[in-house]
Amino acid sequence: MEYEFHFVVDGISIDDDRSVGIVHDTFDGLLTRHRGRYFLDVAESGASAIDAAHRIVVRLRKSLPDLRLLRTDPDLVGVSDIAERLDRSRQNVQQWVNGERRQDMLPFPDPEGMTGRSPVWRWGDVNAWLTQFGEGDDVRPPTREEALTIDFMLPKWQRTLDDGLPLVHFAAAEVGGGYDRDREVVQRLLEGTLAFPGVLERIAAIPRTEQQRLTVVCAVLPDRLSSVVSRIGHDEVWAVLAYQGGEGELRLQAVGTAKAPGAVPVSSLGLSRDATVGDLLLVQTNGPDDTPVTPMTPVGLD
- Paired residues of 9 in beta bridges: 38, 69
Q: pLDDT for 242-259, tens place per residue?
A: 898 777 788 888 887 777
Q: pLDDT for 134-190, tens place per residue?
A: 887 778 999 999 999 999 999 999 999 998 888 888 899 999 889 999 999 999 988
- Paired residues of 45 in beta bridges: 2
Query: What's the whole-model pTM score?
Result: 0.78
Of 77, 139, 151, 80, the residue nearest 109 (C-alpha): 77
Among 88-92, 152-156, 263-267, the range scoring the smallest mean pLDDT is 263-267
Q: Is 185 helix (H, G, I), strand (E, B) or coil?
A: helix
Please check whether residue 172 is in contact with residue 218, taking contact to mean a CB–CB distance below 8 angstroms.
Answer: yes
As to burial, measured by CB atoms within 10 angstroms (0-12 exposed, 13-18 middle, 19+ buried), residue 216 is buried
User: Residue 137 has what pLDDT?
Assistant: 76
Q: What is the mean pLDDT of residues 282-291?
A: 59
Of 220, 209, 211, the residue nearest 178 (C-alpha): 220
**What are the Cα distances from residue 223, in Å, to 148, 191, 237, 279?**
31, 20, 20, 10
Vertex 69 angle, CA 63 and 71, to 5°: 155
User: Residue 300 has what pLDDT?
Assistant: 60
